[in-house]
Structure 1
Amino acid sequence: MVHLNFRIGCVLLSVGQDEFHGEVLDTLDFVVNQSDFTVQVLKNVTDFLLLAKTISVDQLSLPRDVQNKVDKINVDLNDAANTLSGETAKSSGKIRQVFDDIRCTLIVVATMMLLLAILGFLLSVLRHKHAIYIFIISGWLLVAVTFVLCGFFVIVSNAVGDTCAAMGEWVHNSRAETSLSNILPCVDEQTTNLTLYRSKEVIVQLVNVVNTAISSQVKTVSYNQSGTLMPPLCSPYDSRMHERQCEPGEVSFVTASKVWQNYACDGSDSGLCGTAGGVTPEVYNQLVAAVNASYALDHYTPFLLNLQNCQFVRGAFNSITTFFCPRLKLDLRMVTAGLGLISSGVMLCLILWVFYANRPQGEEVFAKQHGIKDCRDCSNSLNSRSTPPSSSSYLLTAKSYGRNA
C-alpha cells in the first residue's frame, strides 16, 4: 500500500508538473504572440504612413500640413508599440522565471524523496540503526517541505482560478483598471483614435492626388490626348472621414491597377505616349503605388478599431479563459494530489523503518522460543564453575575440620 501510494504520487507529480509547465509556457507564448501581432500592426501602419508621405504622382503629393501630422502621429505610434512590447516582455519574463523555479523545486523534491525511500529501505534491511535515525529525521523534514509545497500549490490553484475569473470579468468591463493591464496592456486610446483619423485623412488625400492627376491628363504632356479618360479612384471616406459608397464609374482599390493597365501606353523619350493610351508607364507606376499605400492603410482600419476599444486584449483574455484556464486548473490538481500521495507514502515509510530496524533478528526469536540463554550468560556460568579453589579456601577448610575433631 505504501509503495503503491508512492508510485501513484510520483506518476501524478511527474505528469502534472510537466503538463502544468507546458500549459503555462503555451499561455505566455499566446499572450506574447498577441502583443507582437499588435506591435507589428502599429509598425506597419507607421511604415505605410511614411510611404504615403513620400508618394508623388506626376509631381503631385500630400499637402505639407498632412505630412507634418504624419510625422507627429508616427512618434506616438512608436512610443505605443515600444510600451506594449516592453510591458508584455517584462511580465512574461517574470512569470516564466517563477514557474521555471517551481518546476526545478518539484523535480528536486521528488528526486530527494525517491532517494530517501530507497536508501532508507536498504539501511533498514541492513539494520544500521544510527543511520536510519538520521534518515528518519531528514525524511520528516522533507515530508514537512512537501506538505508546505502542497499548500503552496493549493494557493497557486486558487490564484489561477481568481486570475481566470478576473479575466472573464474584465472582458465584460474592459474600462476597469486592474493588474491584468501589466500582462497585456491596452494601447493608449487617444493615440489609437488619432491614428485612425490620420489614416483616413491620408487615404482621402491620396485619392485626391490620384484623381487630380487623372483629371488633368488633358493638360499634361505626359499623356496622349488621343486616349480616353481614365476612371477616377473611389474614396472609401468623405471629407468628414465618414464611410461612403463608390459612385458609378469609379474604381476601387482592388480593381484600380487592372483597370488602369488598359489605359497605359508605351512611353517615349519625349515623355509622351508613343502609342494610344492614357498614361505613360512611369505615371502608371506612381498611380499604382498610391493605390497600394491607400489600400494598405484602409486594410489596417479594422485592426485600429480593435485597438481603439481594446478589443484585441478582450479577445486574448477570452481565449485564455476558454482554452487555457481549464487545463491549468486540472494540472494543478494533479500536482497537488501527487505531492499529497508522496508525502503520505514517505511518512508511512518512516514509521515502518523504525519498526523494521528495531525488530529482533531470527536467532533471537529462535532462542526465545526454545529457552536458550544468551551466550554471554553461559560463558559466565562456565567460568565460575571451572575456576579452582584458592589456597585460602583450603586453609579455612582445615581449620574448621580441626575444631570439629
Structure 2
Amino acid sequence: MLGVECLVYSLVMVGWFIVTITFLVSGIFLLVNNLVGDTCVAMNEWLQNPTVDSALENIIPNIDNQITKKILSATKDVTYGVVEVTNTYISNVSNANATSYAGASYYNQSGPLVPLLCNPYNEDDTDRHCAPNEVNFENASEAWEKYMCDVSLVGNCVTPGRLTPLGYKQITALVNVSSGLYHGMPFVIELMNGTFLKKTLSDLSKMLCSGIEEYSMWVFTGLVASSTMLMFLLVHWIVYSEHRRCRAYTKKTDAALYWKKVSC
C-alpha cells in the first residue's frame, strides 16, 4: 500500500510540473504571438499608406527625392565617363593606323577595326540607343577577344590584331565597372525610394502573417486541452487510488469483525 501511495504522489508531482511547464510555454507563446501580430499589423498599415505616421514610419529611414536624383545623376555621369574613356582608347590607340614613330601608341596593330562600346547615356544623362556597329556590356568581352593579337617580348603584335592581351584586359575591366554601375543602379534606386522595402515587407506579410491568428488559436487550444486532460487524469487517478484504499480498509475491517465473532 505504501508503494502505491508513493507512486500516486510521484505522479501528482510530475503532473503538476508538466502542467506548470505547459502553462508557462502557453504564456511565452501568447507573448510571441502578440509581438508577431503587432508586427504584422504595423507592416500592413505601412504598406497601405507609407506616408502616414505609423509604427514603422518612425523607424524606417526616409531619403529625400532630391538626394536620390543627385545619386542617380552622379551614377549616370560616372557610367558615361567610363564608357567614353574606353571608346577613346579604342579610337585613338587600337584603331589608329600608327607608325613606329608614334611612340607608345604603336604596337604594330593591324586588321579590322575594334567596335566601340555602346554608351547607354548621352552627355546630358538621357537614355541613348546603341548604334548597329557597337557592342554592349553583355557581349563586349567576347566580341573584343577576336581582335587580340599575339605579342612579342617587347609587347608588339606579331599576328594581325588591334588589341594586345594587356590592352584587352584593361578595357574589359572598364566594361565590368560601367556594367556594374549600369545594372546595379535600379536596385540602388529601389533601395533608396523604398520600393525594395515595400516588396520585402509585402512578401513577408503574405508568407508569415497570413492565417497567423487561426494557427495561433489552434496551438493555444491544443496546449490548453493537453493541460486540462492531464489535470483530469491526475484527479481521476487520485480518486481511484483513494477508492481502492477505502475498499481495502473496509475489507480488512470486515475480516477482523468476522474473525472476532467466530472466536466468540
Provide the TM-score with structure 1 as the length reference.
Answer: 0.50
1:210 counterpart = 2:62: no
Match of 1:361 among 244, 247, 250: 247
What is the match of residue 296 of structure 1? 180
Segment of structure 1 superposing worse, 220-229 or 210-219 = 220-229
Which amino acid in 2 is paired with 1:247? A
> What's the CA shift string for 1:356-393, capped at 9, x where partnerless?
2432124615866xxx76489x49xx8xx9xxxxxxxx
Report the Cα distance in structure 1 between the residues aligned to 2:77 and 2:167, rounded to whole angstroms: 23
1:89 corresponds to: none
Find the counterpart in structure 2 of residue 321 from structure 1.
Answer: 205
Write the distance in 1 (CA, Å) between the matches of 2:145 and 2:219.
Answer: 66
1:171 to 47, 54, 63: 47
Q: Distance in 1 between matches of 2:237 and 2:206?
A: 48
Distance 1:225 1:127 in 2: 104
Instruction: List aligned pairs for 1:1-150, cutoff 5 A.
Output: 126-127=4-5, 132=9, 143=19, 146-147=22-23, 149-150=25-26
Shift of 1:138: 8.1
Superposed CA deviations along residues 234-263 of structure 1, whole A, max 9, x for unmatched, are 111222333221133322122222333343
Aligned mates of 1:276, 1:298 — CA distance in 2: 33
Alpha carbons of 1:200 and 1:349: their partners in 2 closer, same or farther (altered >3 Å)? same
Letter in 2 for 1:294: S
Q: Deviations over 1:143-176 (max 9, x none)?
A: 4664465455345434433322322332333455
Aligned to 2:136: 252
Describe the SS at the equivalent of 1:265: coil
Query: 1:126 corresponds to which letter in structure 2?
Result: V
d(CA) in 2 for partners of 1:269, 1:140: 88
Aligned residues: 252
Instruction: Check whether the contact 1:192–1:304 (CA below 8 A) recurs between aligned residues.
Output: no
**Superposition RMSD on alpha carbons, in Å?**
4.1
- Cα 1:251–1:138 change in 2 (3 A) is closer
Residue 263 in structure 1 maps to residue 140 in structure 2: no
Alpha-carbon distance in 2 for matches of 1:224, 1:318: 60
Identity of aligned residues (%): 32
Conserved in 1, the CA contact under 8 Å of 2:42 and 2:56? Answer: no
Output the CA distance in 2 between the equivalents of 1:137 and 1:225: 93
Question: Aligned pair in 2 of structure 1 residues 247, 351: CA closer, same or farther (>3 Å)?
Answer: same
Contact 2:43–2:56, Cα closer than 8 Å, also in 1: no
Secondary structure of 1:254's counterpart equals coil
Paired amino acid for 2:55: T
1:287 partnered with 2:171: yes
Cα separation, partners in 2 of 1:223 and 1:189, compared to 1, 3 Å: farther
- Give distance in 2, aligned partners of 1:357 and 1:225: 105
CA distance change for structure 1 residues 354 and 174 in 2, over 3 Å: closer, same or farther? same
Distance in 2 between residues matched to 1:145 and 1:374, nearest whole Å: 49
Q: CA deviation at 1:289?
A: 1.7
How has the CA–CA distance of structure 1 residues 357 and 205 changed in structure 2, closer, same or farther, with 3 Å as cutoff?
same
Distance in 1 (alpha carbons) for counterparts of 2:44 and 2:50: 10
Question: C-alpha separation between the residues in 2 aligned to 1:227 and 1:166?
Answer: 65
Look up the match of 2:193.
309
Q: Which residue of 2 aligns with 1:231?
A: 115
Larger Rg: 1
In the alignment, the residues of structure 2 paired with residue 348 and residue 231 of structure 1 have an alpha-carbon distance, to the nearest angstrom, of 86
Structure 1: where are the runs of 5+ without partners?
A: 1-122, 386-405
**Partner letter of residue 207 of structure 1?**
V
Q: Secondary structure at the match of 2:116?
A: coil
CA distance in 2, matches of 1:245, 1:315: 30
Post-superposition CA distance 1:8-35 (Å, at most 9, x none)? xxxxxxxxxxxxxxxxxxxxxxxxxxxx
Residue 160 (str. 1) matches residue 46 (str. 2): no
SS in 2 for 1:358: helix
- Alpha-carbon deviation of 1:272? 4.1
Residue deviations 1:311-347 (CA, integer Å, cap 9, x gap): 2222222222222234755553343122211221132
